Structure 1
Amino acid sequence: MRIETSYKKVSGGKITGQLGYSHRGTSHWGSAFTQSAGTTKTSTWTSYDSGFRCAPTVGILKVNGQGTFQTPVASC
C-alpha cells in the first residue's frame, strides 16, 4: 500500500514544515522541507500492513510557527 501526502503552495512567503500521515492514532512524518509559493511538495510512504487499506488515514502538514493542518479522512 502506497501512502502519498502532497501540499501545493499557491501564494505567500516561504514555509518550513513536514508532511506526514496519521493512521490508527499514530503520526508518521517525512523529512523537514522549505517551500516557496508556486511549488508542490510530496512525500510518499509504503506500508506492508495488510489491514492498512481500510483503516481511516489522514494526511497532515506541520508548518513551523503556524501549527498542524490535515486533509479529510481517506478510507474504503
Structure 2
Amino acid sequence: MALFRNISWPRIFAEGVVIVVSILLALWIDTWWGERQERKLELDYLEALQKDFEETRENLEIHIEEVSILLDQVDKVLTV
C-alpha cells in the first residue's frame, strides 16, 4: 500500500490529459490535411473539366460553321 501513497495522482492525471489532447490534435491535423488535399484535387479536376468544356465548345462552333456552309452549298445545288 505504501507504493500507492507515493504516486502523484494529479501528475498522472495531467499526463493522461496531455496524451489524450495530443492524440486528438494529431487526428484533427490529419483530417484537416486530408480535406485540404481532397480540395486541391477537386480544384484540379474542375480546372481540367473547364478546359475540356472550352475545347469542346470551340470544336462544336467550328463544326456548326462547317455544317452551315455545307447546308448553304446543298441549298444552292438544290435550287438550281
Provide the TM-score with structure 2 as the length reference. 0.15
Compare CA radii of gyration and give the structure with the larger one.
Answer: 2
Greater relative contact order structure (CA < 8 Å, 6+ sep)? 1
Q: Which structure has more strand as a fraction of its residues?
A: 1
